Amino acid sequence: MSNMMDVEDVDLGHPEDSLDEAARRLWRKAVAFGTWDPSKIDLSQDKLDYQRLSPGMRAYLESFCGAFYHAEENVARLFCPWIMSVSSTWQQAYLSTQLVEEFKHTDFFSRYFEEVFGVSSPKRRLANPVHDSLYERSRQLLASLEAPEGERATRLVEAFTHYQGIIEGVQANAGYHIFVHVFGKHGLFPGLSQGFRNIQRDEGRHVGFGMRVLRHYAERDAVLAARIRDIYQAYLPFIRSRYGQPIEVDGVCYDPPVEERGIERLMEMYERRMRDIFGTHWQGALE
């Protein structure tokens, strides 16, 4: 059980390492340990657990997994410019492992929908401004590869803040905590729990490197540090609005489970990321 509960596993490495040293270490770790296969996870108990759920919890689980499925697919398909935006071989090598891993996460949810929920993809797709604006971010990053150094650094910082800092570091991380508290700690859905554990281990590297990149730029340039804070603050209302909302399925509204405590978990992740980037000098989100 303690293993299941241990979802905060962001690999920040050694603060004195350079970005290249951090990237090379994470590359080695990804090659050695990032080898799980989404097709090998046993989903037979999950099918039984799903059939026994109440209609409200079934709607909640499908909506929850649907949001992850869309998120993983979206970030996987848009990620290539992030690899191209970093300057060194080891940073590119490390980020190439992240690209494969995002597609593995997509593969896992695709299989889960087919085998457990019995549908090829989520029935509904809720508008999500955090994800819907990533396409534009990806295009801006790609265009900046030919731009002067200052503009390239700005676009890189914006892109890492949006993707690794907010989508992965706050939104997805809060999601793992919610899954553990709503389903995982009751021993339900062992296949989904295993999948989330494997995904979270990969994400620990993704967020860890993202935090290193953002801290690197924030320490060197006050304008870039302010840009990071501005983007976090601009997206915060959009991430908050996802939680505490009733889910409507076929005209029936279901309240989210009380264990969700979505906004509370989200804000905890937000504060943690601020400390990862800006250190203990961070004064709090409501300042």
Binding site for Fe ion (CB under 5 A): 72, 102, 105, 168, 203, 206
Nearer to Fe ion, 125 or 220 (CB): 125
Q: Which of 68, 8, 3 is nearest to 265 (CA)?
A: 8
Q: Which of the 8 DSSP states describes residue 171?
A: I
Least separation in angstroms between residue 242's CB and Fe ion is 17
Nearer to Fe ion, 203 or 276 (CB): 203
Least separation in angstroms between residue 109's CB and Fe ion is 10
Least separation in angstroms between residue 204's CB and Fe ion is 9
Nearer to Fe ion, 168 or 276 (CB): 168
Q: Rounded CA gap, 225 and 219, in Å?
A: 7
Nearer to Fe ion, 49 or 72 (CB): 72
Q: Do residues 126 and 180 touch, judged by C-beta distance below 8 A?
A: no
Q: Do residues 72 and 150 touch, judged by C-beta distance below 8 A?
A: no
Least separation in angstroms between residue 157's CB and Fe ion is 18
Least separation in angstroms between residue 65's CB and Fe ion is 13
Strand residues in the chain grouped as ranges (E): 247-249, 252-254
Buried-exposed string 230-261: b where 16+ CB fall within 10 A, e elsewhere: ebbeebbebbeebbeeebebeeeebebeeebb
Nearer to Fe ion, 22 or 225 (CB): 22
